[in-house]
Structure 1
Amino acid sequence: MTDLAAQGAARVDWIRSRMALLAAARDELSVTRPFAGRRIGMSLHVEPKTAVLVETLAAGGAELIGTGNHGSTQDDVVAYLNTLPGIEIVGRRDDDLDQHHANLAHVLDSGFDMVLDNGADLVAGLVARGTAATVLGGTEETTSGGLRLRDDGELAGRVPFPVIVINDSMLKAIGENRHAVGQSVVESLMRITNLMVPGRRFVVFGYGWCGRGVAQYLRALGGRVAVVEVDELKAFEAALDGYRVGSIDDFAEWGDVFITATGHPGVLPVEQIERMHDGAVLANCGHFPWEIDVAGLRAAATGSREIIDSVERIDLPSGRHVVLIADGRMFNLAGREPKGNSIESMDLGFLLQTLSLERVATRAAELPAGAQPVPDDIERTIARRFVAALSSAE
């Protein structure tokens, strides 16, 4: 084992020791082996918690070919996973977007019959190539991917196999999105920038589960928080939760730090960025780096320079400047010293992935084609296990 792989193995050892739900599932799957003879294609953030998920699927008999998401891959974890039999992971943390697309193409070229997707990139590739009929089914992790698969998304009605959208789960919404993302985003902002939260003015875009969590944890640390939300009912909820609520027109000149958490492109346009005060901070925690108009910002800029890793100063024609975190990517995973969501929350979330993939592997014929929520019995099984695990620790 190389030094890099050994470093990754040591980090995964610690994470694995705190993921009791996946440990129990790994023991069960090693007996039932629902993935025997199956090859899973994966596009997912590759970090130590993901490695434990991969180990769990492998214990159930799966082979796996995968790549990370752009900017968040942790090289030591990739090196460790590639020492495991039947596992191939491609990609590096410093890959540019073109190389990331080449990594996705490599996974698609290699062939698989189940998919573990994040942002629907692999599903989109299957549809574009006309090879989706070769796949039994799979899962999608994110709101962003779910939007692509449903309603007005470009993949709606075009996917011939079942895709269980993990982000539809109330367990994930509460445990991972609200509490884990909320904690992770605020912790990462503090770690990357070393800025003080109390008294600072924050504008959070979106009051879905992730936006709720970000706003909650900022306020818990003394931040002054406003919410931008276009959905009337979510805006109503945010107002009753005690936040200032309005449009970006209302808050562009008020905020100190702007955090996007919507899953939608272009929610923070360059014309609003140009109204912000000198030194305003821009950060995105949505899956795709499209919520902040980074391309428009760079086109309008008079200059830019990296201040420290993951922190870039961008000068504006007005003479003011803004600070962009992690190039507009999901900064709690793509920024400096990435930690991502808490171990326990990902134990919960990845058990949802595991049991949903097991359902596809064993009962795909009973599931409709296209995007669908996590089956209710799986949600309730995991809820019981999680509460039992918390109770046993008291």
Structure 2
Amino acid sequence: MTHADLISTGAARVDWIRSRMGLLADVRREFAASRPFDGRRIGMSLHVEPKTAVLVETLAAGGAELVGTGNFGSTQDDVVAYLNTLPGITIVGRRSDPLEQHERNVATVLDADPDILLDNGGDLAAGIVARGLGDRIIGGTEETTSGGDRLRGELHGRVPFPVIVINDSLLKAIGENKHAVGQSAVESFMRLTNAMVTGRRFVVFGYGWCGRGVAHYLRALGGKVAVVDVDELKAFEATLDGFRVGTGDDFAEWGDVFITATGRPDVLGFDLIERMHDGAIVGNIGHVPWEIDVPALRANAVARTRVVDAIDRFDLPNGRHVVLLAEGRMFNLAGTEPKGNSLESMDLGFLLQSLSLERVATRAVELTAGPQPVPDDLDRTIARRMMAILNAAA
């Protein structure tokens, strides 16, 4: 596909998505009038796909200049090509970039000297802290649980500017994480593998909002589902929700498909993988590709075969094999036709992003330094807007 073809394809896809994101359409009109980002440069690290492009257009309508890159392995090249035709927008990176190039892409964003961050996984915040440039940032947002954990863990006390953690919003947790991630994970599993859910045994690691959604949607389609969570209260909730609950050891030989949704490193190690039955499938939907010990799998496998896009077969020393989805990255954004979360959920989530970034741009002095939840008044405003749309469609 030529570059011109990429631009044309990206523009057509974004046009379709834009026409279905009514919440962002409203705020785009508001931003065009109020111009909250005039004179501001937003540095972005976020999955670059058509719904993200509509968010970028919305911020640009409010006067923002934006320099950004995608997240590792999920960038859609036609959307990048389209966005780079827009004035004031610069997006770097390609879907095929290796991790080292992705890290260079993040550095390019930071080199552009942004004063607001739109982060996903904490990469930009960590880079700013490492460079000692926190005084140049007035604030930002963080999209994910993984990034929020990083801000409160590795970067605790080191971020001198406010960061609104979008995933701390109950509104987003319910609308996007539980229902949209749950739906997209199941749809993507079926699309990538062409396998049936009904009757198959699934083991879901993590019963946070994303894990809840995955478990419930799998069961709704007839899957047999077990849950692993080290948090006693979440394990208790999963038990009362009717799922089998135990440890990874309990289900290593039982499961057909193993899905990690914790945001934590080394949740599913090679010791469990080598106990799985022949042909077991392993995949991750957490933001950072560290939940499955893919390096150990690669190091111990006697052979690796790329079956099709986003599916690799690893032959093990014990004579069995396992199938890995998307090399351990988010498989609900993988494959030749990745869809990701639903239009409605991302319309909601990106409205949260837009209004939170507006709050940072116009009222940062009212916010405290470091990670914090979405302001309650924004959550309630957005809930009312979303309910108006849902009720109107009922």
Give the alignment of 1:1-394 within 5 angstroms.
2-150=4-152, 153-394=153-394
Q: Which segments of 5 or more consecutive residues in structure 2 lack a partner in the other structure?
A: none
For 1:256 and 1:68, the matched residues in 2 are separated by 32
Q: CA deviation at 1:392?
A: 1.4
Query: TM-score scaled by structure 2?
Result: 0.99
Aligned length: 392
For 1:2 and 1:157, the matched residues in 2 are separated by 46
Deviations 1:149-186 (A, max 9, x none): 11xx1101100000000000011100000000000000
Deviations 1:300-326 (A, max 9, x none): 110110111111100100000000000
Query: TM-score scaled by structure 1?
Result: 0.99
Question: Moved runs in structure 1, 4+ residues, more than 2 A?
Answer: none
For 2:284 and 2:377, the matched residues in 1 are separated by 34
For 1:254 and 1:300, the matched residues in 2 are separated by 22
Q: Secondary structure at the match of 2:90?
A: strand
For 1:361 and 1:382, the matched residues in 2 are separated by 18
- On the 8 A contact 1:144/1:287 being kept in 2, the answer is yes
Amino acid at match of 1:350: F
Q: CA deviation at 1:336?
A: 3.5
Q: CA deviation at 1:393?
A: 1.7
Deviations 1:16-53 (A, max 9, x none): 00000000000001010010000000000000000000
Identical positions, percent: 76
Q: Secondary structure at the match of 2:338?
A: coil
**Root-mean-square deviation (CA), in Å?**
0.7
Q: CA deviation at 1:334?
A: 2.8
Q: Secondary structure at the match of 1:2?
A: helix
For 1:232 and 1:311, the matched residues in 2 are separated by 34
Q: Secondary structure at the match of 1:58?
A: helix
Q: Which segments of 5 or more consecutive residues in structure 1 lack a partner in the other structure?
A: none
